[in-house]
Amino acid sequence: MAINDSINNAFAGDYNAPNKSSKNIIMGGDFTTNPWQRGTSFVSPVINTNVADRFAWAVNGTAVVTITKNADSPTAAQSGVFSTSCLQIAVTTADTVIAATDFSFLRQRIEGYDFCNIAQRNFTLSFWVNFNKTGIYCINVRNSAGDRSFVSEFTVNSINTWEKKTINISPSPTAGTWNYTNGIGLEVDFVLMAGSTFSTATLNVWQTGNFFASTNQVNGVDSNTNIFKFALIQIEAGDKATPFEQISAENVLLNCQRYYFKTFPQATVPAQNSGVVLGACTYIVQLAGATNNGQKIRYPVRMRTAPTTAGFSPLSASANWYNITRAATTSVATTINATDRGIYLSNAQNAADVLGNVYAIHLTATAEL
Amino acid sequence: MSINNSLNNTFITDYNGLNKLSKNIIIGGNFTTNPWQRGVSFVTPLTGAYTADRFKVDYVTTATTTITQAADSPTETQAFIFSTQALSTAITAADAAIAAGDFYIISQAIEGYNFTNIAQRAFTLSFWVKSVKTGIYCVSFRNSGSDRSYVAEYTINTTNTWEKKTITVTASPSAGTWDYTTGVGLSVSFALACGATFQTTANAWQTGNFYGTANQVNGLDSNTNVFILALIQIESGEVATPFEQRMEAEIIKDCQRYFQKTFPMTTAPAQASGTQLGAIQYRAILTGIFANGQTWDFASIMRVAPTITYFNPISANTNWYNVTLAADSGASSSLNIGDRAAFASNAQVVGDTATNNITIHATASAEL
Q: b/e for B177-209, b at 16 or more Cβ within 10 A?
A: ebbbbbbbbbbbbbbbbbbeebbbebbebbeeb
Write the pLDDT tens digit of every residue in A62-112.
999 999 999 999 999 999 899 999 999 999 999 999 999 999 999 999 999
Measure the CA–CA gap between A62 and A219, rounded to whole angstroms: 13
- Put simply, whether A246 touches B (Cβ < 8 Å) is yes
Q: What pLDDT does residue A335 have?
A: 87
Write the pLDDT tens digit of every residue in A320-335.
999 999 999 888 888 8
SS (H, E, C) B152-206: EEEEECCCCCCEEEEEEECCCCCCCCCCCCCCEEEEEEEEEEECHHHECCCCCEE
Please give the share of chain A, as a percent, with pLDDT higher than 90: 88
Residue A361 pairs in a beta bridge with A281
Interface of A with B in 135-154 (CB under 8 A): 152-154
- Put simply, whether A241 touches B (Cβ < 8 Å) is yes
Do A3 and B152 lie within an 8 Å CB cutoff?
A: yes
For residue B254, give the nearest of A11, A23, A248 by CB distance.
A248
Which has the closest alpha carbon to A61: A88, A91, A89?
A91
Interface of A with B in 56-115 (CB under 8 A): 76, 78-84
Q: DSSP string covering B81-127, please?
A: S----EEEEEEEE---S--TT-EEEEEEEEEHHHHTTTTTS-EEEEE
Do B164 and A360 lie within an 8 Å CB cutoff?
A: no
CA B247 to chain centre: 18
Asked if residue B343 lies in contact with residue A282, where contact means CB atoms within 8 angstroms, the answer is: yes
Report the SS3 class of residue B146.
coil
Q: What pLDDT does residue B21 have?
A: 54
Measure the CA–CA gap between A328 and A126, rounded to whole angstroms: 52
A6, pLDDT greater than 80: no
- Put simply, whether A204 touches B (Cβ < 8 Å) is yes
Interface with A, mutate which of B6, B19, B251, B286 (most A CBs under 10 A): B19
A265 to chain B: which residues are within 8 Å by CB? 305, 338-340
Region at A349 (left for phi over 0; alpha for psi -120 to 50; beta for the rest): left
Measure the CA–CA gap between B47 and A306, rounded to whole angstroms: 47
- Put simply, whether A325 touches B (Cβ < 8 Å) is no
A284 to chain B: which residues are within 8 Å by CB? 291-293, 335, 343, 345
Residue of A nearest to B113 (CA): A249
Do A153 and B293 lie within an 8 Å CB cutoff?
A: no
Interface of B with A in 238-267 (CB under 8 A): 238-242, 244, 253-254, 257
Interface with B, mutate which of A81, A170, A302 (most B CBs under 10 A): A81
Do B300 and A155 lie within an 8 Å CB cutoff?
A: no
C-alpha neighbours within 13 Å on the C-beta side of residue B360:
31
pTM over 0.80: yes
CA dihedral (B346, B352, B358, B363) in degrees, to 10, reads -30
| Burial class, B367, CB count within 10 angstroms (exposed 0-12 / middle 13-18 / buried 19+) | middle
- Put simply, whether A281 touches B (Cβ < 8 Å) is yes
Do B16 and A240 lie within an 8 Å CB cutoff?
A: no
Confidence band (pLDDT; 50, 70, 90) for A13? very low
A266 to chain B: which residues are within 8 Å by CB? 301, 339
Q: Give me chain A's average pLDDT, please.
A: 92
Q: What pLDDT does residue B245 have?
A: 87
Write the pLDDT tens digit of every residue in A161-200.
999 999 999 999 999 999 999 999 999 999 999 999 999 9
Confidence band (pLDDT; 50, 70, 90) for A21? low
Residue of B nearest to A249 (CA): B113
> H/E element holding B14?
helix B12-15
A11, pLDDT greater than 70: no
Measure the CA–CA gap between A179 and A239, rounded to whole angstroms: 23
Measure the CA–CA gap between A267 and A280, rounded to whole angstroms: 14
Do B121 and A76 lie within an 8 Å CB cutoff?
A: yes
| Burial class, B96, CB count within 10 angstroms (exposed 0-12 / middle 13-18 / buried 19+) | exposed
- Put simply, whether B11 touches A (Cβ < 8 Å) is yes
Cα R_g (chain A), whole angstroms = 23
Tell the CATH superfamily of the B2-256 domain. Galactose-binding domain-like (2.60.120.260)
A4, pLDDT greater than 60: no
For residue A33, give the nearest of B113, B119, B293 by CB distance.
B113
Do A286 and B286 lie within an 8 Å CB cutoff?
A: yes
Mean pLDDT across the stretch A235-252? Answer: 91
CA distances from A178 to A122, A125, A167, A212, B262 (A): 16, 20, 22, 18, 43
- Identity (one letter) of the amino acid at A173? P
Residue of A nearest to B118 (CA): A82
Which has the closest alpha carbon to A23: A123, A105, A121?
A123
Q: Render each residue's pLDDT in chain B as its tens digit; 368 residues.
A: 333 333 222 222 333 333 345 789 999 999 999 999 999 999 999 999 999 999 999 999 999 999 999 999 999 999 999 999 999 999 999 999 999 999 999 999 999 999 999 999 999 999 999 999 999 999 999 999 999 999 999 999 999 999 999 999 999 999 999 999 999 999 999 999 999 999 999 999 999 999 999 999 999 999 999 999 999 999 999 999 999 988 888 899 999 999 999 999 999 999 999 999 999 999 999 999 999 999 999 998 999 999 999 999 999 999 999 999 999 999 999 999 999 999 999 999 999 999 999 999 999 999 99
What ranges in chain A are assigned the alpha helix state H? 12-15, 76-79, 112-115, 249-256
Do A284 and B292 lie within an 8 Å CB cutoff?
A: yes
Q: DSSP string covering B251-315, please?
A: HHHHHHTTEEESS-TTS---TT-S--TT-EEEE--SSSS--EEEEEE-SS--SSSPEEEEE-SSS
Better-predicted residue by pLDDT, A132 or B246: A132
Interface of A with B in 332-361 (CB under 8 A): 355-356, 358, 360
| Burial class, A109, CB count within 10 angstroms (exposed 0-12 / middle 13-18 / buried 19+) | buried
What are phi and psi for residue B98, nearest 5 degrees? Answer: -80, 115
A201, pLDDT greater than 70: yes
Measure the CA–CA gap between B183 and B205, rounded to whole angstroms: 20
Q: b/e for A226-258, b at 16 or more Cβ within 10 A?
A: bbbbbbbbbbbeeebbbbbbbbbbbbbbbbbbb
A307, pLDDT greater than 90: yes
What are phi and psi for residue A255, nearest 5 degrees? Answer: -60, -45
B2 to chain A: which residues are within 8 Å by CB? 168, 239
Asked if residue A142 lies in contact with residue A170, where contact means CB atoms within 8 angstroms, the answer is: no
Q: What pLDDT does residue A9 have?
A: 29
Strands B357-365 and B280-283, sheet pairing: antiparallel
Q: What pLDDT does residue A336 have?
A: 87
C-alpha neighbours within 13 Å on the C-beta side of residue A217:
33
